[in-house]
Amino acid sequence: MEIKRKIAILGSTGSIGTQALDVVRANPDKFTIEVLTSNTNADLLIAQAIAFDANAVVIVDTTKYEYVKQQLAHTDVKVFAGAASLTQVVAFDAVDIVLTALVGYAGLLPTIAAIKANKTIALANKETLVVAGELITKLAQQHNVNIYPVDSEHSAIFQCLAGEWNNPIEKIYLTASGGPFRGYTREQLATVTKAQALKHPNWEMGAKITIDSASLMNKGLEVIEAKWLFHLTPEQIDVIVHPQSIVHSLVQFTDGSMKAQMGLPDMKLPIQYALAYPHRIYADFPRFNFMDYPQLTFEQPDRTTFRNLDLAYYAMRKGGNMACALNAANEVAVAAFLADKVSFLGMSDVVETAMQKIHFVAQPSLEDYIATDLQAREWCGL
């Protein structure tokens, strides 16, 4: 009899977290929920805790602790509060898998704590590897911890490599939809609004990642994440625009052969693959029909108009703490854009300026990464 896997979902009320709970709900014989966390969405966290009989919850916003505790007083759910609690609950003995679905830099310290506690990581927080990829990968090796990617593109690469572990990769191609502004000129982008940027053509995602997708920063962050996940050089990672979002990414091997992972765009598939690995379990997701997509097209990204991709490649090649600065500045820039404080094109200017000003550290420690994150945010001036 297969033992149920006990899951901690960091960021259970966000887009990835709620879809992960859909996967758990559909597979009660395979998964149970041990821990759920939310930044501020107390009501949804309470409802999730009751519905999935969670052992513990964390509400990061400490002002809502008493409310959550009161609402769950009739249950056995343990209630914790504050960001520091995230690093504690991931170490619970009962937890088998930690799904890191937090947004941005916030995912770094809890993921480090989970690795040190020898938990399997299902990583939906690409910023963890962007900010501190070298530190995270070394730590995972030291603790013999597996990191399974949840991003659709990295999951696609991971799936293509199944059975190919001994065969060297020549190159990988990460596909990008191109977002809502594919084909736009700089003149057109100068006047786009946040409402337009939040309308992704293919994927349902949170606001931050949707804006990143529109600016191609999301693809830039994914390039850096792929370097660490699959031990690649920058020259081995390419990006190609694929508007239909059916081919999720490709691997090219040294004999010239290529593998692609395909399917309808649905984040529940890579979430389920990471949680159930190495098993594929049945899902009633809609099936792809070739006749619905008689043409699959591919094109080069416009790196001149969408400068974020090249900024990410520069950070990856520079190494050290540069990608940490890139990520911090981008988080500030996206928040400013969503608050109507900076233009769409202005986000790239904010990021580039912070990267130019930051004190470069070639071999950063965790303390250096933390300092860089703070410094880069200050340099943004927003």
- Rounded to whole angstroms, the Cα distance separating 193 from 184 reads 13
Q: Helical H runs in the chain?
A: 15-26, 42-51, 65-71, 83-89, 108-116, 127-142, 152-160, 186-189, 194-197, 207-215, 217-230, 268-276, 308-318, 322-338, 346-357, 366-380
- State residue 163's pLDDT score: 93
Q: Quick check: 1 pLDDT over 90? A: no
- State residue 186's pLDDT score: 93
pLDDT digits (tens, 9 = 90+) for 145-194: 999 999 999 999 999 999 998 999 999 999 999 889 999 999 999 999 98
Mean pLDDT computed over 113-132: 96
The number of residues making up the chain comes to 382
Lowest mean pLDDT: which of 241-245, 282-286, 378-382?
Answer: 378-382
- State residue 270's pLDDT score: 97
pLDDT digits (tens, 9 = 90+) for 187-210: 999 999 989 999 876 666 678 889
The domain 5-149 is placed in CATH, from the list 2.60.120.10, 3.30.950.10, 3.40.50.720, 3.40.50.1580, at 3.40.50.720
pTM score: 0.93
Mean pLDDT computed over 344-358: 95
- Rounded to whole angstroms, the Cα distance separating 283 from 356 reads 47
For 14, residues 6+ apart whose C-beta sits below 8 A from its C-beta are 101, 102, 103, 206
Contact 95, 104 (CB under 8 A): no
CATH fold of 319-382: Rna Polymerase Sigma Factor; Chain: A (1.10.1740)
Q: Residue 24: phi, psi to the nearest 5? A: -65, -45
Instruction: Pick the more confident residue, 379 or 93.
Output: 93
Q: Quick check: 238 pLDDT over 90? A: yes
Query: What residues does each domain of the chain span?
Result: 5-149, 154-313, 319-382
Q: What pLDDT band is residue 299 in, cutting at 50, 70 and 90?
A: very high
Q: Quick check: 340 pLDDT over 50? A: yes
pLDDT digits (tens, 9 = 90+) for 46-99: 999 999 999 999 999 999 999 999 999 999 999 999 999 999 999 999 999 999
Q: Quick check: 382 pLDDT over 60? A: yes
- State residue 203's pLDDT score: 63
Query: Structure tokens of 70?
Result: 């009161």
